[in-house]
Amino acid sequence: MPRKLLLPYKSVFSHFRAPQGLHDSLAMNAARSGYRVFSANSTAASTELAKKITERLGAELGKSVVYQETNGETRVEIKESVRGQDIFIIQTIPRDVNTAVMELLIMAYALKTSCARNIIGVIPYFPYSKQSKMRKRGSIVCKLLASMLAKAGLTHIITMDLHQKEIQGFFSFPVDNLRASPFLLQYIQEEIPDYRNAVIVAKSPGAAKRAQSYAERLRLGLAVIHGEAQCTEQDMDDGRHSPPMLKNATVHPGLELPLMMAKEKPPITVVGDVGGRIAIIVDDIIDDVESFVAAAEILKERGAYKIFVMATHGLLSADAPRLIEESSIDEVVVTNTVPHEVQKLQCPKIKTVDISLILSEAIRRIHNGESMAYLFRNITVDD
């Protein structure tokens, strides 16, 4: 029987802080306990989260080599035996998304052919999660990626704050969709001195449920930005008008469908009072920051004296650091699900919250066959 990996229970989630230290008798050899942790990233910057997780587990990263050949192909070599063990692959997604996906697929397949017992992917930010709906004559790429991961040999996935919770239905194996909100809520309470004078803001009606959850937990007010400046996913063509209606299209003489009225957004407005208060905009992903910058300008005009942006995944693509630095936003707080050290050097307004604690605890519980319910305490559908 493999020995179970144990951590000090009381310190695991006490105020969401790391334990002061792991007792020597609890830091057991991972290989002897029947599990190993690998990083599928080929870049050093992307392995930082994996190192933090293994440090909390009292384990070492599995021995492997992941690199790109001169012709651009990805090669993965496993340098130790994994036969009959539970293998956890930690894969953070840097800017080169497609290379990261191939690294994960190839490593999973290599472990499968090496007779690993279970292969669990730890993917804090799941790529292509925004492509989870049909757009015009496109495809649901997220469903395709889920099928590819299953085919490669993954048997379980640990992820965090999926863009759409329905994505879990794309998989043929279990998915644990953890939440970063407890860590972000703690940051608000501890790092924003006058947070009692704050209001939680949704930058579009689509983000209102998440904002409402934050507002209710912090006992704060809620504001929603609505109007013509916003462009949400619901406004995009979802493919149901395919083929498009033609001006001279032939209509069956007996068929008279009611005409759908065209959408017309009202002038920009803020529903809720933000005058003389701290505005905290919450969302799951911050990538192209133009909409956040525009929301900050509107809130400034309405009297907010300080503006924070809180998000789980800080992709911060393109000119995001420069735009944030030049905007009315005072601080952008994201977790380390995605590596963004370069962006932090370009913009000191960007702050990071570490979520390695909950990921390491999820790994421990899955390996030991323990319930995951503790990690979802007080979590509702809207979180």
> Mean pLDDT of residues grouped by 10 in the chain (383 residues)?
48 46 40 80 87 95 94 94 96 91 97 96 96 88 96 97 93 96 96 96 92 95 80 51 53 72 80 95 94 94 96 94 96 96 94 97 96 89 73
pLDDT at position 211: 95
113-151: burial string, b at 16+ Cβ within 10 Å, e else? ebebebbbbbbbbbbbbebbeeeeeeebebbebbeebbe
Task: State in words which class domain 36-178 has.
Answer: alpha beta
CA 191 to chain centre: 22
- Angle among Cα 378, 89, 37 to the nearest 5 degrees reads 95
Classify each residue of 166-178 as buried b or exposed e, where b means 16 or more C-beta atoms within 10 Å of its C-beta: ebeebbeeebbbb
Give dist(CA 333, CA 331) in Å, integer: 6
Contacts of 208 (CB under 8 A, 6+ apart): 202, 222, 224
pLDDT of the residue at 246? 52
Contact predicate 308/278, CB 8 Å? yes
Locate the domains of the chain by residue range: 36-178, 181-229+267-353
Note the maximum CA span of the chain: 82
**Residue linked to tokens 């990805």:** 74
Q: What would you report as the CA-atom Rg of the chain, rounded to the nearest whole angstrom?
A: 23
- At 8 the pLDDT is 46
Fold of 181-229+267-353: Rossmann fold (3.40.50)
Residue 378: the pLDDT is 86
Rounded CA-CA distance 348/234 in Å is 34
According to the model, what pLDDT value does residue 324 have? 97
Residue 352: strand pairing partners: 334
Per-residue model confidence (pLDDT) at position 234: 52
pLDDT at 262: 78
Question: What was the pLDDT predicted at 266?
Answer: 79
User: Which ranges of 78-220 does DSSP label H, i.e. alpha helix?
Assistant: 97-113, 141-152, 181-191, 208-218
Are residues 312 and 180 in contact, defined by beta-carbon separation less than 8 angstroms? Answer: yes
Cα→Cα distances 285→43, 162, 188, 317, 342, Å: 23, 10, 18, 11, 18
pLDDT of residue 33: 55
| β pairing state of 269-271 and 221-226 | antiparallel
The distance from CA 250 to its chain's CA centroid, rounded to whole angstroms, is 47
What does the angle CA 295 – CA 312 – CA 120 come to, to the nearest 5 degrees? Answer: 155
> How many angstroms separate the CA atoms of 147 and 83, rounded?
24
Of 123, 157, 185, the C-alpha closest to 353 is 185
- Tracing tokens 């998304």 back to the chain, one arrives at 97
Q: Residue 178 pairs with which residues in a beta bridge?
A: 160
